[in-house]
Each structure stands twice: as C-alpha cells, then as structure tokens.
Amino acid sequence: ADTATAQSGLPVIVMDTAPAAVLGALDDPRVGGHPHPVVVNIGNFHTLAFQFRDGQFVRLFEHHTGELTPERLSHWLRALAAGSIGHEAVFADKGHGALCLDEVRVPLELVALVGPRRAMLADTDLPIYAAVPHGDQMLTGCYGLLRACADIEPKWRQPISDALAGKADRSLW
C-alpha cells in the first residue's frame, strides 16, 4: 500500500487488489490463527502467493494465471512452503518471479485460497481452504485494504481494529 495526500488534506491510500486480498484473507480466523499459512490469490490474469510464519511474511511468488495448470501451481506452492522457490526459476517459467526472505522449510498444512479462479486447485491433493474473512469472501480485498490503512495511518489503527472486531463505536455512524 502507498499513501499520498489529496487536495482535501486527507490521506489517499492505494493498494493493488491481489495483495489486498491476501492480507484480507488473514482476517479469516482459520487462516490468521495458523502458524504458517500459504495464502494464494488466483486472479484472472495473475496469481500471487504469500507464505507467512507466525504472522510475518517470509516468501512470495507471482505468476501469470493463464500459464499455470493445477499441477504447475501445486508445484510452485510446494516449493514456496519448502523454502526452495527461486526468482529465476519462476521467471523462467513465464512468471514474474519470487522473493524468499528465508529458506526455512515448513509443512504445507493450509493453502488458503481467494480470487475469482480459486477453483483451479479444487481437484489437487493440496490442503486447500476457501478463506472467508468476516463471513464474506467477496469482501476479502476490502478487509485487506482496511488492514493496510490501519498499518499506514496510526490514528486509524484502533478504530479500524475495533470495527473489524465488531466493537465499533456506532455513535460515530
């Protein structure tokens, strides 16, 4: 997410939809409560996958969805969890690349899916889970954008956290 100031003096925050959806998926209790989930946004044109450990991002890759088969995507997700994914290999496979901050292998126990083409992995043997933050998978990206806003604007952190936890001060509405 990036921030700027509009002519009104209010901050303007811009974020790409794929990482917003990945961040929003962490609001699903099963995903956010897992020690090392892989969260995958399978979009119409791009697939973006993040590996988290103890709430921290450790690796990612981005690929062109149209270049992926269920088997190929499964391969990359296994490499991501294994810590063996490499930028050059993903790029050579017609993807955008990968970033691996560490190579610590973690068991592939939860692959949380979001995005319009998440059904691509339905018939694989991966431990897939359709993330449903706050009971509505259609708003996953919106929840992620709110979380990003809370990270960027400290004065918004508590009101956003309270609202997402169902503790919002309704007198403000």
pLDDT digits (tens, 9 = 90+) for 65-86: 999 999 999 999 999 999 999 9
* Residue 13 pLDDT: 85
- Collect contacts of 34-38 with beta carbons under 8 A, ≥24 apart: 34/109, 34/110, 36/81, 36/106, 36/107, 36/109, 36/110, 37/110, 37/111, 37/112, 38/77, 38/80, 38/81, 38/108, 38/110, 38/111, 38/112
Q: pTM here? A: 0.90
108-121 average pLDDT score: 97
Average model confidence (pLDDT) for the chain?
92
CA distance 99 to 109: 21
* Residue 17 pLDDT: 92
**Which of 1-5, 8-12, 49-53 comes out lowest in average pLDDT?**
1-5
* Residue 10 pLDDT: 76
Read off the amino acid at residue 46. Answer: H
